[in-house]
Amino acid sequence: MILAQRRADVEWRGTLDGGEGSFTVGDWMLGELPVTWAERTSSGENSTSPEELMAASHASCYAMALSLVLEQRGTPSERLHVSAECTLDTVDESFKITTMELEVRGKIPNLDDDGLREAAKRAEEICPVSNALRGNVEITVDTILEKE
């Protein structure tokens, strides 16, 4: 049974180096956003990139998975903050997304550092985006438990 299907559309004009494109995600959300190779491989202050979108997808999906794991263990969080950093690199003369680094900060009553690390590991195992990337992209998870 399909739970969700989402769509994004991209329009690209020109070559890789000199071209430009834009994409839309849904009809109501972001509107049309620019994307260029130059911005993708630089600071990216004026447009987004596939890596930024993958990082956002992974962080949000992982936060949901961790929330579920913590709830199932009887230690629901008060707050979770997940940062994701997606790296595009050159490998064997081609481009490859090589790593996804997740950092989890959480305020979770009645949980110690080891408990958060265990829950974080389980969340990474059940996160659908992690599962899509696993075996092709190195995924790391660092945890920081916020004290009262």
Amino acid at 23: F
> What does pTM read for this prediction?
0.87
d(CA 66, CA 105): 11
113, amino acid identity: D
What's the pLDDT tens digit per position in 66-115? 999 999 999 999 999 999 999 999 999 999 999 999 999 999 999 999 99
Residues of the domain holding 33: 1-48
79 in the same domain as 56: yes
Compute CA 68 distance to the chain's CA centroid, rounded to the nearest angstrom.
17
How many CB atoms neighbour CB 106 within 10 A? 23
Number of domains in the chain: 2
30 and 99 inside one domain: no
The predicted pLDDT at position 22 comes to: 78
DSSP string, 62-78: HHHHHHHHHHHTT---S
